[in-house]
Amino acid sequence: MKSRGIPEPTNKVLRFGGVALSAALVGAGIAALAALIAAQAMKGRSTGIGDLVAVVVSLLIGYPVGVGIGTILVKKLLRWSGSVAFGVVAAFLGAGLTMIAAEPLHLNVNTNVLMSVYFGAVAVCAAAGFLYRR
């Protein structure tokens, strides 16, 4: 007997939150994995701050990749209807727009604010792209 996945919520807010949360959790896992790989790759080298830069850059790139993978998993494992292509593109769009808006909105004054907005915007944009209806 084939599993049908978790039924989609009929409430649009719950559906949006479910997609955003599941994509964000997968994104956090992939970002952590990318950071660990970067840390191991830079281990033992006397590059000074280069290892820290490698870990931060791998987090910033790994999170949108992981969120994109999260939208694919929502589509394939949970069998929820939505557009994977729009979800993946929107995740990277959210990452880019956050970095572009960091200076004019003074998000880069506090690292905690910048990273919170970055992680939130990527997940929200991915969920919005995934659930976008023409």
Assign 3-state DSSP to the chain and report helix, strand, coil percentages, each to 5: 75, 0, 25
Structural domain total, the chain? 1
Interatomic CA distance for residues 32 and 21, integer angstroms = 16
- Provide the whole-model pTM: 0.86
Does 3 fall in a domain?
Answer: no
Asked if the structure places residue 6 within a domain, the reply is no
- Average pLDDT of the segment spanning 85-97: 94
Tokens of 58: 């791998």
Least confident stretch, 13-17, 62-66, 87-91 = 13-17
Examine residue 5 and state whether it is found in any structural domain, yes or no: no
Identify whether the C-beta of residue 130 lies closer than 8 Å to the C-beta of residue 87: yes
32-45 pLDDT, tens per residue?
999 888 888 877 77
Contact 92, 64 (CB under 8 A): yes
- Determine, yes or no, domain membership for 4: no
Q: For residues 57 and 97, is the Cβ–Cβ distance under 8 A?
A: no
What residue numbers bound the domain in which 120 lies?
12-130
Is residue 91 domain-resident?
Answer: yes
**Per-residue pLDDT at 117 exceeds 90:** yes
> How would residue 99 be classed by pLDDT, with cut points 50, 70 and 90?
very high
User: In which band, very low, low, confident or very high, does the pLDDT at 1 lie, cut at 50, 70 and 90?
Assistant: very low
Averaged pLDDT, 9-35: 91
